[in-house]
Structure 1
Amino acid sequence: MQFDPKGNAPADLSHAGSVVDQAIAYMMEQRIGTLSAASALLGGALGLLSRSMSDEAIVQVLNNAIASVKAGELRADGEGQG
């Protein structure tokens, strides 16, 4: 992610998130399976990251994502914590 000198997220992050939300909604309308849609989005995201980040930086992003999952941060109800 591109941060400004103060560490803030870029101004277009909200717009990018909205576009992804629309793509997800479209895939669900097309009855694309959740796992297929998520796998395609993850693969696309990793491909995009590989254009601008080192492999080690991508691994750190993935490790941060794993830590968030393990901490239950992706579930509002805390369900599924391992």
Structure 2
Amino acid sequence: MSLDPTGMAPEDLSHAGSVTDKAIEYMIEQGIAPISVASALLGGALGLMAREMDDKAIANVLRSALNSVESGELQAMRAEKPVS
């Protein structure tokens, strides 16, 4: 896994995102509640980060996610297409 030229994101981030989107789609099709899907994915992500990153790096990822929520960036996703 190497970083992009700006050093911000791994080059395989798009692929990982596509795989995650397909997993979400599959779970929703299986009738799993969206909150359960989201909670499981978040728990898995936190577990992976805990094994692979130090606390400061994890805090930076979480801070970035919180900034996206607070800036209204996620509202556009709601307008695009609901999950359920």
Q: TM-score, normalised by structure 2?
A: 0.79
> C-alpha separation between the residues in 2 aligned to 1:53 and 1:34?
27
SS at match of 1:43: helix
State the number of aligned residues: 79
Structure 2 CA distance for partners of 1:33 and 1:2, relative to 1, 3 Å: farther
Contact kept? 2:50, 2:58, Cα under 8 Å: yes
Runs (4+) of structure 1 exceeding 6 A deviation are: none
* Residue of structure 2 in register with 1:25 after alignment: 25
Alpha-carbon distance between aligned partners in 1 of 2:52 and 2:77, rounded to the nearest angstrom: 35
Amino acid in structure 1 at the alignment position of 2:64 = N
More RCO (CA 8 Å, sep 6+):
2
Aligned to 2:82: none
Instruction: Describe how 1:1-82 pairs up with structure 2 within 5 A.
Output: 3-4=3-4, 6-76=6-76
Counterpart residue type for residue 59 of structure 1: A
RMSD: 2.4
Could you tell me which runs of 5 or more consecutive residues in structure 1 were left unpaired when the two chains were aligned. none
Any idea what SS the aligned residue of 1:42 has?
helix
Unaligned runs of 5+ in 2: 80-84
Structure ranking higher in helix proportion: 2
One-letter identity of the residue aligned with 1:41: L
